[in-house]
Structure 1
Amino acid sequence: MKTAVPETADRPPVPPGAAHTHREIRQQPRLWTETLARLAEERAALDTFLAPLLADPRLRIVLTGAGTSAYAGQIARSALAAATGRTVEALATTEITADPRACFAERDRPTLLVSFARSGNSPESLAATRLADRLLDRCAHLVITCNPDGALAAGRGGRADSYVLLTPPESEDQGFAMTSSLTCMLLTALQVPGGAHVRGLEGCAAAASALLAGPVQDRVADLTRHAPDRFVYLGSGALAALAGESALKLMELTGGAVAALADSCLGFRHGPKAFLTDRTAAVVYVSNDPYTRRYDLDMFQELSAALPAGRVIAVAGRPDGLPEDRTWLVEHMAAADDAALALPAVLCAQLVALHASLQRGIRPDNPFPDGEVNRVVQGVTIHPLPAS
């Protein structure tokens, strides 16, 4: 990856209660370079672990996590399917834990369970791995986590059926919301079969650095300054999953003060469009795929006609077909696969959430001071699965 711009570029003082989130958004280009360096060191051992699994044409790869970690799997799914030539599914740990027999119905099918986890201590993450071992005849585990001391990493480390990939230590976000942790885990996953398979990864750090140093931050402030009380995020394919993560980030960092909805560009018309009011802002992630892009552009035009001027933004790796004044261009990503484009593009959503939080007097490092929502989920009872 290209060298990132320094994180110490002149910026206004960071407001109280935002230091972690502000730093963790801005450090991502540097951490992505560190992530690639760590993966290069692991390459030989990782390939040795994966080679016999990927050699089996019946292999099923399940990408799993909860919340933002689940979106990491959803964003990566299609790119990893194309790179490996194997069946790849994204199933949240919450779904696996609640309905494990449906998720693991083919007992005799060899499976690689890829677990994404910032802390590795979420009850559903641990339960999902145990349920997979119980219900499947052959299950291997790849754990991608930010926390070497988490229960998931500790429990799977050193086992013949498991491999633990750690992201850089600083990626274990100290702020409430997952920012660095998401992107470092996603980049790691996209590199698992070898980076040459996913186009555009080499430009991600430069793209993110350009966003952080360019006019997008001022445009984000302009969009959120009008205090829209609803946001819509839309995309197609991998970018539909990015839309889901973007909506989640906004609701998290504003403590639920801003309602956010995510959908696919085609799916939005089938009912969810009722969410729109004259106080709604919308962001459309525009695909680099020429065919898919046409549907995204259609939706951008439709929303532009439906909402007040300046309330509809396109985030895109290429400018063609889009108005310059309403497009946040992600430079260096014009030829990238959408899963790679999602890496720098998600910084736009993180910045929107940060600005919206601060403009409402909320402290984004801890938007739920009363503890009604927790950084690591609490209050989950894992019930024993009866024998079938």
Structure 2
Amino acid sequence: MSETVTRGAEHTIREIGQQPRVWRETRDAVAADRERIDAFLERHVTSDVRIVLTGAGTSAFVGEIAAPALARITGRRFDAVATTDIVADPRGAFAENVPTLLISFARSGRSPESVAATRLAEQVLDEVHHLIITCDTTGDLYRTHSQREGDLVLVTPEGTNDLSFAMTSSFSTMLLSALLVFAPELAAVVDAAAAAGEWALGDGAEAPRSYAEREYDRVVYLGSGPLTGLARESALKLLELTAGRIVGLHDSSLGFRHGPKSVLDDRTLAVVFVSSDPYTRQYDLDILAELRATPGGHDVLAVDHRSPHGAGETWAVPGVEDLPDAVLALPYVLFAQSLALQQSLRLGLTPDNPFPSGDVNRVVKGVLIHPLADAATR
């Protein structure tokens, strides 16, 4: 691709492309910090603690992928609650006044809700401790919590504080960091995920390029379990990088039949992220077969960890057959990021800043944080 074509996309291209490398760096960084992490978890992850994963937008979707995965791995409850929901309704988000570990994800930690959510948790709850996973050591979230005794702040590897408008490497490295904090055994599969990522950016890159040449009005992403959160993130990437000119939608594989399926037409691409779990996988394959048999002229693509199966197109990611879904999300998301980037370029936009007018910003602006009155009377 020529320099003229990619002008205004330099950051986005670099940040998508660096991910396999920074996944390996993330594994090594978490391993090097293992003693401090384990001491923190031993103090604060007690039998009665509630663990909440939070963030806004893409950072919230990190939690939506990690929460069900970590619940399954650890056998304990993890809740994903967006900072936007905490700020708007803190008493609802923290209705149970129980010891809470609040895990905050933030690329910059500068959005108004980031610090507000941690402060509101402290107002509403009698006992709350904080684990911060961020990409920016100059952000408000880092500066607030890095100096506080008892809080743990982890910073992702250098270069993951994405300079582009859309979160790409910041998203995947924060997700991997969270998984490794609570499931250190997953360090053994990072090389496989990274190798799959290299394939996705190399031999596998032709598929998103070819789909970008088709003039879709909308793309629907579907997934189950942790991959439902990935579907949300994938839809958002398309909306962001095409400045809303191509609509990205998402749903669960089972939920799509309950009304949202009506969105399909001959200018729609439906992408199904197929689970590695044998039971869950059945539902993804069911909706995949149904979509392929449904008339209407829409295109259907399976993103799978196995070779193509049956009729229809499959973006088959090699070498990841035994990975859990939350780790599969790392190479899987590269399809969605690459498709969004290619569609943005096809439309003549500048992916590094699809909104030069400033209508939508890299770091959210304009949010007024209202004081929480009468917190003591909850």
Q: Return the TM-score normalized by structure 1.
A: 0.93
CA 1:207–1:308: 2 relative to 1, 3 Å: farther
Shift of 1:306: 2.7
Matched with 1:96 is: 86
Q: 1:242 aligns with which of 223, 230, 237?
A: 230
The residue aligned with 1:5 is none
CA shift in 2, pair 1:282/1:199, >3 Å? farther
Percent identity, please: 52
The one-letter amino acid of 1:352's match is L
1:82 aligns with 2:69: no
CA distance in 2, matches of 1:60, 1:198: 25
Q: TM-score, normalised by structure 2?
A: 0.95
Matched residue count: 374
Structure 1 residue aligned with 2:39: 48
CA distance in 1, matches of 2:239, 2:195: 28
Q: Deviation per CA, 1:149-187, whole angstroms, max 9, x where unpaired?
A: 111011000322310000012000011000000001000
Q: Which runs of structure 1 show a deviation greater than 2 angstroms over 4 or more consecutive aligned residues?
A: 11-14, 82-86, 197-202, 305-310, 319-323
Instruction: Report the CA distance shift for 1:256/1:307 in structure 2 as closer, same or farther (over 3 A).
Output: farther
- Match for 2:286: what amino acid? D
Tell me the distance in 2 between the aligned counterparts of 1:223 and 1:267. Answer: 25
* C-alpha separation in 1, matches of 2:175 and 2:291: 30
Residues 1:317 and 2:308 are matched in the alignment: no
How far did 1:77 drift? 0.6
1:73 to partner: Cα distance: 0.4
SS in 2 for 1:385: coil
State the secondary structure of the residue aligned to 2:6.
coil
**Are 1:64 and 1:70, in contact at CA under 8 Å, matched by a contact in 2?**
yes
Matches within 5 A, 1:114-153: 114-153=103-142
Cα deviation 1:53-103 (Å, max 9, x = unaligned): 22x211111000000000000000112113333221000000000010011
1:253 aligned onto 2:245: no
1:332-347 matched pairs, under 5 angstroms:
332-347=319-334
Per-residue deviation, residues 17-65 of structure 1 (Å, max 9, x unmatched): 11100110000011111111111111101111111222x2111110000
Distance 2:328 2:189 in 1: 7
Structure 2: where are the runs of 5+ without partners?
Answer: none
Paired residues of 1:58 and 1:86 also in contact (CA < 8 A): no
Q: Verify the 8 A CA contact 1:60 1:86 in the aligned structure 2.
A: no
Aligned-pair distance for 1:309? 6.6
Moved more, 197-206 or 20-29: 197-206
Please name the residue that 2:171 is paired with.
182
Matched, 1:15 2:6: yes
Q: Would you say the 8 A contact 2:265–2:297 is kept in 1? A: no
Specify the code of the residue in structure 2 equivalent to 1:152.
L
Q: Which residue of 2 aligns with 1:8?
A: none
Counterpart residue number, 1:73? 63
Query: Which AA in structure 2 matches 1:149?
Result: T
193, 197, 200: which is aligned to 1:211?
200
Tell me the residue number matched to 1:192: 181
Q: Which residue of 2 aligns with 1:366?
A: 353
1:165 to 154, 160, 163: 154
**Partner amino acid, structure 2, of 1:64:** T
Stretches of structure 1 that go unaligned for 5 or more consecutive residues are 1-10
Deviation at 1:354, TM superposition (A): 0.3
SS of equivalent to 1:63: strand
**What SS is found at the alignment partner of 1:182?**
helix
- Contact 2:308 2:314 (C-alpha < 8 Å) held by counterparts: no
Q: State how far apart, in whole Å, the 2-side matches of 1:31 and 1:96 are.
A: 31
**Structure 1 residues 70, 50: CA separation in 2 closer, same or farther (over 3 Å shift)?**
same
Matched residue of 2:243: which SS? coil
Instruction: Tell me which of 226, 234, 255 is aligned to 1:267.
Output: 255
Q: Residue 141 and residue 185 in structure 1: after superposition, are their counterparts in 2 closer, same or farther (change >3 A)?
A: same
Aligned partners of 1:166 and 1:206: how far apart in 2? 24
Could you tell me how far 1:305 is from its partner in structure 2?
Answer: 2.2
Equivalent in 23, 27, 31 of residue 32 of structure 1? 23
Alignment partner, residue 338 of structure 2? 351
- Equivalent-residue separation in structure 1 for 2:296 and 2:205 (angstroms): 21
1:276 to 264, 269, 277: 264
Is residue 114–residue 144 contact of structure 1 (8 Å, CA) maintained in 2?
A: yes
Change (3 A) 1:236 1:188: same
One-letter amino acid of the structure 2 residue matched with residue 330 of structure 1? V
Q: Which moved more, 1:63-72 or 1:73-82?
A: 73-82
**C-alpha displacement at 1:136, in angstroms?**
1.0
1:211 partner amino acid: A
Does structure 2 conserve the Cα–Cα contact (< 8 Å) formed by 1:75 and 1:241? yes
CA shift, 1:269, in A, is: 0.6
